[in-house]
Each structure stands twice: as structure tokens, then as C-alpha cells.
Amino acid sequence: REAMTTVLLVLGLLLGLYALLYYNCIRGAKCRAQSSLRGKTVVITGGNTGIGKMTALDLARRKARVILACRSRARGEAAVYDIRRESGNNEVLFMSLDLASLDSVRAFAETFLRSEPRLDILINNAGGNLITESDGFNLVFQVNHLGHFLLTHLLLERLKLSAPSRVVIVASSAHRSGKIDFENLHKPVEGILQNFQAYCNSKLANILYARELANKLEGTDVTCYAVHPGECGSSLSLGMHLPNPAQVPRGKRSEHRYSRREVQSSPV
Ligand SMILES: NC(=O)c1ccc[n+]([C@@H]2O[C@H](COP(=O)([O-])OP(=O)(O)OC[C@H]3O[C@@H](n4cnc5c(N)ncnc54)[C@H](OP(=O)(O)O)[C@@H]3O)[C@@H](O)[C@H]2O)c1
């Protein structure tokens, strides 16, 4: 009987500790902003699912013109349909962007700058931690940081012309375990541990970039933020972040190797 009481006490204590941790450290604060965004244009990368989709929905409800910059046309257009229906806002559009390809980033910027006169909010949200195999470079670093770095650079003049405007970089508290090792930063990684380390490194790069960009933009009325969204149940931890094989040019397909399981788990 005493043993039982001790077990129950320990369980109760553990549960209390978890609740304390959950409400104070894990669960993030909720955005309750209601201000209208009518007349503002927002680009959000990876707006077809997870945190990106929820953010896009909120912005659309607040009347912004929202451009979902996604790598899959099918998933992007399905999200456009959902968000238009749920928000009642028809100014939600899909534009193709694969951050794993710098050519795709350039093509996106060109299309965007040709068709959209303003850019008020750029949200660099797309990212993942289980983008495993690549031949010449580290895909986690490329998608989470380098692709966004180039995208922001190409859109910066439009942001300045639309000021007051802002860049929001979706980082992660995982940056605390990140390291910037210039010798190896871009190299491919293998296995879950190295992959997670690459994720942390890329998130540290996000934070350092946000700081430096904010310094460089001082006085322009373009502001820059890095945010940790809190822990969210999304596909991020399920290993679905693969480059879309259909979008990789034929000659370059060897740069992207997929295991059979990964291809099957990809929602394409
Ligand atoms: N979930 C969390 O708990 C958590 C915690 C801290 C930080 N974050 C950060 O929050 C951001 C969003 O994550 P999430 O949890 O919402 O994950 P998610 O649901 O898995 O969404 C990730 C998005 O990134 C897109 N993406 C992946 N590779 C891409 C590429 N090559 N080109 C363009 N888009 C690409 C995905 O597109 P597809 O649908 O085509 O795969 C998807 O839209 C990430 O930057 C992540 O690091 C998340």
C-alpha cells in the first residue's frame, strides 16, 4: 500500500512538472492581433501546410493579399482553395517556389516583381529538419537558410518601396544547439543526428541573419524579426520535407537521391 502511494505521488509530481514545463516553456503565446491588413501584400513561404497555412489563414481573414510560395502546385492550390473558403478572401494566390533550387528562387522573385506592385510582409516560414539526402550540398541549410537569404535579397527593394514593411523569419529555439562551422556548413549530412544538428545550425543562421539584416535596414522603415513559433504538431517531424522530384530538372536529378520509403512518404 505504501509503495502504491509512493508511485502515485511520483506520477502526480511528474505530471505537475510536465504541466509546468508545457504551459511555461513549450506552449507559445497566441497571436490575438485583429488589425486590418487590407491593402497589404504578404508573401509566405511554405504556406500550404502547418504553421505557414495557419498564419496565411489568419492574414487572409484580416483582409491581406496573401501569396503562398510553395514548391508543389497541387498542395499550394489546395491550400489556396481552403484558405479562400475559410476566410472569404479571394485574394489568396499560389506562386511556385522551391527553396532547394536557387534558380527557382530567382524565377519566383522575377514573377513576383513583375506581377505584384507591393510587398508589405515577407514571411520566411518554409523549413524542415529531415530533408536527408543531397549530393553536392546540405539541403537543410539550403532550404531553411540559403534559399530564404537569396529570396529576401531579391525582394528587398520592393519591401523598401512599400515601407513601413517587415521581414519575419520563422526560426526555432533549436538554434541554441546550433554551430556555425564555415568549413562544413554547406556539406551534405547523413543520419538523424547529423540531420538534426544541421537543422539547429540552419536555425542559428536564421537568427544571425535576422540580426544582421535588422542592422543593415536601420533607418529604412523595413523591420526584421526572428520568431520561435512554439512546439506545434506539424509534418515537420514526420520527414516529409523532400524536394519535389517533378520540379528537379532531369539533368540534375542525381543531386537529389531519395530512398524508396522517403518517396512513398512524400505527399506528392
Ligand atoms: N513545428 C514546430 O514545432 C516548430 C518549432 C520551431 C520552429 N518551427 C519552424 O516553423 C516553420 C514551419 O514548420 P512547420 O512546423 O509548419 O512544418 P510543416 O508543416 O512541415 O511545413 C513546412 C513547410 O515548408 C515547406 N517546404 C519544405 N521544403 C521546401 C522547399 N524546398 N521549398 C519550398 N517549401 C518547402 C513545406 O512544403 P511541402 O508541403 O511541399 O513539404 C511546408 O509547406 C519551419 O521553419 C520550422 O523550422 C516549427
In a domain, 259, yes or no: yes
Q: Which spans in 62-190 are helix H?
A: 73-87, 102-115, 139-141, 147-161
Residue 136, all three cell numbers = 553536392
The number of domains in the chain is 1
* Beta bridge pairs of residue 122: 43, 167
Question: Does 163 fall in a domain?
Answer: yes
Are the CB atoms for 46 and 70 separated by under 8 Å?
Answer: yes
Write down the pLDDT at residue 189.
83
Asked if residue 62 belongs to a domain, the reply is yes
pLDDT at 132: 56
Q: Closest Cα partner for 44 from 166, 195, 209, 181?
A: 166
Catalytic residue among 199, 209, 225, 258: 199
Could you tell me if residue 23 is inside a domain?
A: no
With respect to residue 231, please indicate whether it lies within any of the assigned structural domains: yes
Cα 237 to ligand 1 centroid, rounded to whole Å: 10
pLDDT digits (tens, 9 = 90+) for 148-172: 999 999 999 999 999 999 999 999 9
Ligand 1, pocket-test mutation among 53, 66, 236, most atoms within 8 A of CB = 236
Domain presence at residue 58: yes
Residue 230: which pLDDT band, with cuts at 50, 70 and 90?
confident
Please give the C-alpha separations between residue 266 and each of 18, 136, 194, in angstroms, as whole numbers: 33, 22, 21
Q: Residue 257 is part of which domain span?
A: 34-265
Distance CA 140, CA 182 (A): 15
Residue 129 has pLDDT above 50, yes or no: yes
Is there an atom of ligand 1 within 6 Å of 72 CB? Answer: yes
**9-46: burial string, b at 16+ Cβ within 10 Å, e else:** eeeeeeeeeeeeeeeeeeeeeeeeeeeebeebbbbbbb
| 29, part of any domain | no
Q: Specify the higher pLDDT residue, 71 or 249.
A: 71
DSSP 32-53: ------TT-EEEEETTTSHHHH
pLDDT confidence of residue 20: 87
Query: Which three three-digit cell numbers place residue 144?
Result: 531553411
User: Which residues, in sequence order, are CB contacts of 58 under 8 Å at separation 6+?
Assistant: 31
Helix (H, G, I), strand (E, B) or coil at 134: coil
Query: Could you give the CA distance from residue 57 to residue 252 in angstroms, rounded to a whole number?
Result: 35
199 is catalytic: yes
Per-residue pLDDT reduced to its tens digit, 82-93: 999 999 999 999
Longest CA span, the chain:
75
Say which CATH number the domain at 171 has: 3.40.50.720
In a domain, 170, yes or no: yes
pLDDT exceeds 70 at position 253: no
